[in-house]
Every structure is written in C-alpha cells, then in structure tokens.
Amino acid sequence: MSALDQAGARDLLVRVVKKLYDERHSPVPGALLKAVLVTEAQKEGAEFSEHHLGFGKFIEFVRTVPEVAIQGRSGSDVLLAPITASALLAAYANPLPRLRRDFWRAFVEFPVENAVRLYDPTEDKILYEPRGTQRSGVPIDPVPRETQLQWRRTFSEQQPETIKDALLAALNGSETVVFNEFARRLRENPSVTRGWNRFLQKQITDYVAGWATAHGIPEDRWLAPARGIQFFRGDGEAVTDKPQNISQRADLYNFFDQLPIEDLLQLRVPLEWVLRIARRGDA
C-alpha cells in the first residue's frame, strides 16, 4: 500500500472535510477527521501519514490546505470546515452561555410602533413602555430586521448546495412571510436546525454582550442563572444535584450536540431510559 503524496493527501482532506461537514451540518472535530481520513485513504488503496509528508503533527499538515478553515476550541482539539463555511466555526469554538429569556425576547422581537424597551437595573427587569415614558432605564434597541436577515443569509450561504438553495429562496420571498418561510425550511432538516440555533445563539449573545458592555451592565444580569440538575433515585424520588455553572452545562451541551445519535445511544449513561422518561412526561 503506497503512501499518499502531498497533492493526493490534500485532495483527500478537502473531500473528507466537505463530506463530513455536509453530513453533520456542523464543523468537524480534528480527532474525528484524522480517523476518517486514514480510513478513506485505505479504501482507496493508499495510506495517509502526516509524518511521511514531513509534518510532525496532523494539524500542521491541515494548515497547509487553504480550502479548509480551522478554529481552535476549548481543550486541545480543533474544529474544521470547508473554507466556504468559515463563519460558522466561531459559534462552535467555545461553550455558549444562555441568555435570560426576557433579554432574548427584548432584543430579537421587532420594534412595536410608539413603544420603547428599557432595562431597569434597580428592579432587574425589562420594561415595555409607551414612547415618551418618564420611566428611567437603559434603552434597548432590538436587533434590526435587516441584521437578522443577514444572519440568515450568512448561515444559508455556508450550507451544502442542496440546503443552501432552499434557504436562500425562502429569504428572497415576500417580506411579510420571509422569517416564517425560513423557519419552515429549517424544520425539514433537524440537523440544519441545530446548526442554525447554535449560530443564532452566538450572534445574539455577541450583540447583547456589546450592548451590556457599552452600558456597564455585568454579565450576571443578562445571563440565565445556573440551575440544578435533577436525578431520579431507584424509588422514584427526585434529587437535585448542586447547581452547575454555565460553562459546565455548556460544555456538556456542546459535547452531546457533536455526537451522532448512533454514538450517543452507545454511551454507558442510559440515554434510552432518559428518552422513555421524557416521552412519558414523568420528568
């Protein structure tokens, strides 16, 4: 079995990254990519070795391929995607905190005529007041409609061709139904929906963080509080564990979100039991 030369290895890398990205609709962990690359090379009667190509580490080889975008992430691994999907990498690089629901709504929902939105730091709540109100508070300007449309265009442009065309077509529709049509298209493919939700969360979080920084509002005001994780003992009594901080919870969410469902169900944690409980509504 002959070892791939530089040109052959680069061509295979580009093809494997695109294949995995198209299947997952999300960036590819470096460790997974290396394993698949070796397997695909063997299927083609060849051997892949970054050492044979003169590189000490796999990532050093990847960095020489301009068609592949790379993003460092929490921990030692990296994420990769086709260069055409590079804008999505930042949404997966680090655990994302959760916004308070009232802040999410205040920034995402479009403006209402003759009304304003304020954040009252004293009462720690969002106010919806008539324009010209005497109530004091930090003004909130919702994310403009065009900005929210641009987020959708950016996400759509970085999807595989079969998905991209349908999403962009939805965004070119009537102004009154464009958001609903985009959501409908997403619902046709759950894995794309998960990718969009992740991307959207990153955009909104960054937007609110910029607003908070400009007005001197600390993170603990606009981030959702950590909540305890509920477990069930053998006798059915619920037990609440110690609250987990946002980073810990986000790390878990990110880990599980990256796993294909067939791998997820093989974990020693009885996830099939969890699914049964959730579907019955016992939890």
Q: Mean pLDDT over residues 148-161, rounded? A: 92
Task: Give the tokens for residue 254.
Answer: 């990110």
* Residue linked to tokens 């609110």: 208
Return the amino acid letter for 256. Answer: F
In contact, 187 and 20? CB cutoff 8 Å = no
Q: How many Å apart are CA 156 and CA 15, to the nearest integer?
A: 21
Amino acid at 157: E
Q: How many CA atoms lie within 13 A of 233 on its CB side?
A: 6
Give SS3 for 270: coil
In degrees, rounded to 5, the angle at the alpha carbon of residue 105 between the alpha carbons of residues 101 and 106 is 115
pLDDT in tens, 171-213: 987 777 899 999 999 988 888 898 899 999 999 999 999 999 9
Q: Rounded to an integer, what distance in angstroms lies between the CA atom of residue 144 and that of residue 146?
A: 5
Q: What's the length of the chain?
A: 283
Evaluate if residue 108 carries a pLDDT over 50.
yes
For residue 23, what is the domain's CATH number? 3.30.420.610
* CA atoms of 13 and 41, how far apart (whole Å): 10
Residues 45 and 114 in one domain: no
Average pLDDT over residues 104-131: 94
Confidence band for 118, pLDDT divided at 50, 70 and 90:
very high
Point out which residues pair with 130 in neighbouring strands.
115
pLDDT value for 228:
41
Judge whether residue 123 has pLDDT over 90. yes
Determine the pLDDT at residue 88.
Answer: 85
The helix or strand, by DSSP H or E, that contains position 126, with its residue range, turns out to be strand 125-130
Q: Which domain holds residue 250?
A: 230-280
The reported pLDDT for the residue numbered 241 is 41
What sections of the chain are H helices per DSSP? 6-24, 30-43, 58-62, 90-93, 101-108, 145-157, 161-171, 178-187, 190-214, 219-222, 246-258, 261-264, 271-280
Same domain, 122 and 107: yes
Nearest to residue 271, comparing CAs of 121, 66, 255, 15? 255
- Asked if residue 55 and residue 31 are part of one domain, the reply reads yes
Q: Which pLDDT belongs to residue 268?
A: 61
Q: Using 50, 70 and 90 to split pLDDT, how confident is the model at 68?
A: very high
- pLDDT attached to residue 174: 74
Say how many domains are in the chain: 4
Claim to verify: residue 22 and residue 59 sit in the same structural domain: yes
pLDDT in tens, 76-94: 678 999 998 888 888 888 8
b/e per residue 79-107 (b: at least 16 CB within 10 A): bbbbebbbebbebbbbbbbbbbeebbebb
The structure tokens listed for 7 are 């040109």
CA pair distance 79, 30, nearest whole angstrom: 6
pLDDT of 260: 54
CA distances to 142, 235, 259 from 276, in Å: 40, 17, 20
Last residue of a domain, one of 182, 201, 222: 222
Same domain, 122 and 204: no
